[in-house]
Structure formats: C-alpha cells, structure tokens
Structure 1
C-alpha cells in the first residue's frame, strides 16, 4: 500500500459517533454542497436572481434557515450560520439498511456528510403545556417565505410537534409565490381578513378564499398563492413544527385533471366556505359553532370549528377539558374571557391565542359585543 493510499483511508474515516457501515454508492440519491451563510436572505436572493439558481426546498416557512437550490449542474444547500473554512458535501442514501448519518473527512479536508433518506419530517413526541399568546399593542411580525409577515402563536412549539402562525400581507396584488408542496402530517389555513386567490393540484380553476373560509392542505398537494387583497390575514396550523417546503418546477397550476375526491396521503382537499355553513350548539351555553369539514377529510385526525357567541354569555359555571394531543384557540373577533384551571383568567381580544393541555379544565365566555374563536383539536374524537 502506498503512502498516498494510507492517507486517503485515514482521511475518509468516519468522524465521531457510531460509524456503522457506509451505504452502497449505488443507493446514493443526491449530493449537496453545503454553504453556510451569515446573511441567509441576501445569500438566497443572490443565488436565485443573480446566478439563476432555482429553489428546490426551503424551511421552516416562518423563518427560513435552510434552502436547497439547483442550477448549472449543481445543488447547493444554503444554511443560516457563520462562514465555514472547509467545503461540506452532503449526500443522501436510499439504502434501507442505512439508518444513522455518517460524518467523514475527505483527503482534501472537505467534510462529507452521508444521511439516510427520510420521510421529510420528524414527528416529535407529545409535549403539552399551557400557552397564552396575546397580540399586544405592538405585535412582533417577522419576515417569512415569499415576502409574507409571520407572527408566532406557539413560541414553545409544544416540543416541536405543532406550529401556529398568524400571517399577513399588508399590500395586496400578485404574490411572488411558486408551485410548491409541504411534507407534513397536518396543515390548514384559515382566512381571518381580506381575500386570497389560490390554485391547488387537481381541484379545478383558481378560487378566492374569503374571510371566514378555510382550506385543508393534505400532505404533498401542490399549490400556489396567486394574489391577495390589501390587509390579508390568515392563521396557519401545521404538524410537525418543522417540515420542508418543496418546490415543483414541472407542474403548472391549474392542472388539466379535476379530481376533488383524490386522496393525498390519506387526506382529501377541503375548501370550506363560511357563507354556506350550518350552525350548531357549542360546548358552552350561548355559543354556536360551524364545522369546517376537516374531521371527515382527515378520517378523524383533526377537528376544526369556528364558535361564536350570540351576545353576552356571562361567566361560565361549567368547565370543559379534552383527552387529545393538541387543543388550540384563536380569537377572531369580539372580546371575552378565558379561564384555565391552575392558570387563572385571561382577557380575550382579536389575535390572542391559547393552547390548552389535556385534562385541564377551562371555560370561555363572551362580552357584550360577542366573541368568535377558531378551534383546532387533534385527534378529532378527543
């Protein structure tokens, strides 16, 4: 064995952790050159608009920190962070026997990461806690994907299992979006104010979602935001909190195919129109609710309702609780009070939100001008 061969073998040894065996080269699917970026947003704009790269994947949506772009025969993985002295090459393997990432150093000093191909997201364990997130006088809005402004409604993410975002676009017109999809367990969007024109895979011509309407986005359905009104506001709930957004550069929306009953990974697409809904008595006296059709479309994974008070309800004497993994409320309009066992009483105003843990008693009442709340629960039967 030559000295050069010896150096190469030593340099390619796995670094840290359990090394296991290298996957077969025939099972390698993709390679990415990893480029840390001190200014992630400026770097992404440079590679896209100055150099002509296209986005393949970007996440998380509310504050992107990783983007995979491709073009000119190469794929780059832009990661928010400090500059790196050495080049990193990241590869993924479809070998089913390959379970844990391997970290290598090449003879030229480049870092090589080989990672198993995953389902696109990791579902963290259930980690429930009480959250009350008031909108306050100066809401904290941050820049997110496609020029949208995001407000975090669950800062602790319930251990990474759920994310809820209040999203707005102050100035309407065409939205700089692209055909994309999400690798996600559950995702829905409720329109709080204004309107937005959307297109979805196999769901016909683009349509306008108005205030009070809702869409369920089944996992991996292709879609695109086309335009919106001034002052658009939506509430988006996703599980898990971190999931990839993938760009589809080959599909054009709307598609020629119309299949409203198409199954997308066990779920159906839903466009709920508020002005067509029926109302029923809710869990608290003086309230009625409309069901948004998501329980049936997800086969019981989630239930989504909008409840409203018919005038003032006064203090509620009885409490409710749940046995599920997630119960979330967002105040849409009006004013009222939330009382949570062991936590106290909270005033509810439009834009406030809360997460109620399982087996925790709570009640909601309404002030004179009537309260309206969005309710999301997983699973539905809980």
Structure 2
C-alpha cells in the first residue's frame, strides 16, 4: 500500500512579544474572536499561536520585537469587540477596529485660482506600474480633485494588474500616442488614441495592456486621495458585453475624436465637441474639447464647483479680474473658481483645450 503524503503548505505568521501568555489567551480568543492553534510547553507556556481574520499570530514570551499595532477590518465595527474601536492587548499590541469598506468621503472644495505651466518644470514622479506623473493642481483644491499629466516614456506591454479605483469620478483623456486598455463587461481591449477619452465609473475593473512610446494622458480623479485595489480573481476581458451597465449610477464612456461633431461653445469665439460624459454620469461631471470659432471672445464667470482646463495645443491668453494676464501654451493648465470673471483671449488658430467641470451642468454669465 502506497502512503500518500499531504501536499506541502506554506504559512506566514507575525510574531509579537509578551510577558505572560496566560493573560493574552482570553483577549485574543474571546475579545478578538481568534482561535488558538498551538501552545507550548505545557507546563510553562512561552509560545501561543492564534489564527483568524486572515491572520496568524505567534505570541512569544520575551520576543525581541515591539508590540506593534494590529488593524482589524470588518463590515460591522459596532458588533465587534463590544463596539470598541481602539484596544490595547495585555501584551501591549494596539488593536484598531476599522470599517472594511468605508464610505467615500468627498472633501469640500477649497476654491482657488490656479495656473500650472509646463515650463515651470514641475517634477515628474514615478508612480504605479512605472508611469510618470506630473501634478497639475498642486493644492488639489482642499483634496477635492487630483489632475495628473501622465506619460509612459517607453512603449510596449505595461506591467499592470486587474484593478479598480474607489472614486466619485475618473477621466482618462489621451493627448499623445495610444494606449490599450481592457474593461469589465465592455468587450475586448480598446485603443485610446490622441483626442479620445474614457471615463472609468467607480470600481469598474480594468487593466492597462500596452502603450506606444511616450504615450501621454490627462487623468482627473475625484476626490484627490482615493484607494486603488487589485482584483486577483477577475479575468479580463469578461465573457459578457454590457454597455448599458451602471456602476454607482455611472456608465462607462469610450469617446473617440474621429466621431466628433463641433457646435458653438458656451463662450463666444469658440466651438466645442461634447464627450457625452455629463449624460453618462447623470451630471456628475462634464468634459468638452474646445477650439477657436468665429467672433470675439468675452469676459465670463461660472457657478460650477470645479472648473479645470488643460491646454492640449496652441496658445491662449487667460485674463482674470485684478490679475496680470497669462499667455498659456501646450501643456499648461488652470483652474477658475466659481464667480471669478475671466476671459480667454487671443487664441491661436490651432488652440485646443480640454475643459472638465464638476458638476457637468452649470450656468455661465457673460460680461
């Protein structure tokens, strides 16, 4: 008879110090709801091992490490450990009880007039998946928005994983090159070329696959600080194609420049193409691409909460009440707070602007 051995397993455990294991046993088992898997020696225990909540702990008498801190994430903190949110174990370990999926907090916008110029040489920071990030709104309006100019210098496959973002709104607008991305329930991979954009509804799974040399995109995220999570289980593309699906009230948008219809813009002297983002986010945000039109430009103000503009091509002069004018060029960005009177004057023939507003429906006052 052949003896079959169990498959080998690998376990990891975290070691914590203690002075008296007998005091730790009731805390880790009864208060934290873990199970004790091991204890030795029997006559004078020096080591006890506990498991639970996805963790294995080794409590060892006189271990050299500090007691540290342990965070436990649960769907219902009020029913865990009698509703206590911070505890200290007998061995000195600090226990913090947190919500596993806390609600998204949207900070109140701290309005300011912002001008960010490419020639100011703001540093490029290497971020996730080797991408280079340049911050376009340094003060982030009190944490309400992050606007990034992102580039991938060397083309080819991107070392990305299936992931999602816990956001209120997120835009990806390609300004140079191309990038291939695949999205949950949206079919096969899609290529984003210069002038095209995606909106990524909250928590839609996706993966960046491949990019051209020096691809560049503008990414807008609300709020500024948001969590990116890796999904280790989902395989993309998914077997279903569901273009009408909504994520927290928003639909995925793949808007292509080649299908553009140009119409008069809200500001005289300009034309625009709509990206359908206001419609598909139910007014959460609006995104327009703006070019020079006919007629004179005028002074105007708006009443939307966040008004961000990026100069994709050409040049234009930004005039603001009580301020010196700025001659803005390709790569520059600006934010106009609500109620401030400004004018976009002397646009070059090749001017092209990306305007992002939150909310997407608002009033413009001329004059």
Match of 1:201 in 2: 184
Find the structure with the greater CA-based Rg: 2
What is the CA–CA distance in structure 1 between the aligned matches of 2:326 and 2:22, rounded to whole Å? 68
What is the CA–CA distance in structure 1 between the aligned matches of 2:214 and 2:242, rounded to whole Å? 32
Alignment match of 1:230 (pick from 192, 208, 213): 213
* Contact in 2 for aligned 1:190/1:234 (Cα 8 Å): yes
1:103 aligns with 2:86: yes
Match of 1:124 in 2: 107
- The 1:5–1:246 alpha-carbon spacing in structure 2 relative to 1, beyond 3 Å, is closer
TM-score in terms of structure 1 length = 0.76
* Contact in 1 for aligned 2:20/2:91 (Cα 8 Å): no
Match of 2:355 in 1: 375
- The 1:109–1:96 alpha-carbon spacing in structure 2 relative to 1, beyond 3 Å, is closer
1:94 Cα offset (Å):
1.9
- The 1:264–1:235 alpha-carbon spacing in structure 2 relative to 1, beyond 3 Å, is same
1:142 Cα offset (Å):
0.5
Match of 1:360 in 2: 340
Match of 1:279 in 2: 262
Alignment match of 2:157 (pick from 174, 177, 196): 174
Q: How many residues align?
A: 314
* Contact in 1 for aligned 2:197/2:254 (Cα 8 Å): yes
Match of 1:89 in 2: 70
What is the CA–CA distance in structure 2 between the aligned matches of 1:86 and 1:130, rounded to whole Å? 47
Match of 1:340 in 2: 320
Deviating more after overlay: 241-250 vs 365-374:
365-374
Match of 1:349 in 2: 329
1:159 aligns with 2:149: no
* Contact in 2 for aligned 1:329/1:373 (Cα 8 Å): yes
What RMSD, in angstroms, separates the aligned Cα atoms of the two structures? 2.9
Q: SS of the residue aligned with 2:209?
A: strand
Alignment match of 1:289 (pick from 267, 272, 296): 272
Q: SS of the residue aligned with 1:146?
A: helix
- Aligned pairs (5 A) from 1:213-292: 213-292=196-275
1:187 aligns with 2:167: no
* Contact in 1 for aligned 2:74/2:99 (Cα 8 Å): yes
* Contact in 1 for aligned 2:148/2:219 (Cα 8 Å): yes
What is the CA–CA distance in structure 2 between the aligned matches of 1:8 and 1:242, rounded to whole Å? 37
- The 1:8–1:266 alpha-carbon spacing in structure 2 relative to 1, beyond 3 Å, is same
5+ long unaligned stretches in structure 1: 13-23, 29-72, 76-83
Question: What CA deviation, in whole Å up to 9, does each residue of 1:148-191 have, x standing for no partner?
Answer: 00000111111001110000001100000010001110001000
Alignment match of 2:96 (pick from 92, 98, 113): 113
- The 1:372–1:101 alpha-carbon spacing in structure 2 relative to 1, beyond 3 Å, is farther
What is the CA–CA distance in structure 1 between the aligned matches of 2:32 and 2:245, rounded to whole Å? 37
Deviating more after overlay: 135-144 vs 246-255:
135-144
* Contact in 1 for aligned 2:290/2:352 (Cα 8 Å): yes
What is the CA–CA distance in structure 1 between the aligned matches of 2:168 and 2:133, rounded to whole Å? 21
Alignment match of 1:330 (pick from 296, 310, 330): 310
* Contact in 2 for aligned 1:120/1:243 (Cα 8 Å): no
What is the CA–CA distance in structure 2 between the aligned matches of 1:263 and 1:116, rounded to whole Å? 25
- The 1:194–1:366 alpha-carbon spacing in structure 2 relative to 1, beyond 3 Å, is farther
What is the CA–CA distance in structure 1 between the aligned matches of 2:141 and 2:84, rounded to whole Å? 26
Q: SS of the residue aligned with 1:159?
A: helix
Question: What CA deviation, in whole Å up to 9, does each residue of 1:58-85 have, x standing for no partner?
Answer: xxxxxxxxxxxxxxx659xxxxxxxx95
* Contact in 2 for aligned 1:203/1:258 (Cα 8 Å): yes
Question: What CA deviation, in whole Å up to 9, does each residue of 1:99-148 have, x standing for no partner?
Answer: 99833322222222112344353211122111111111634100111100
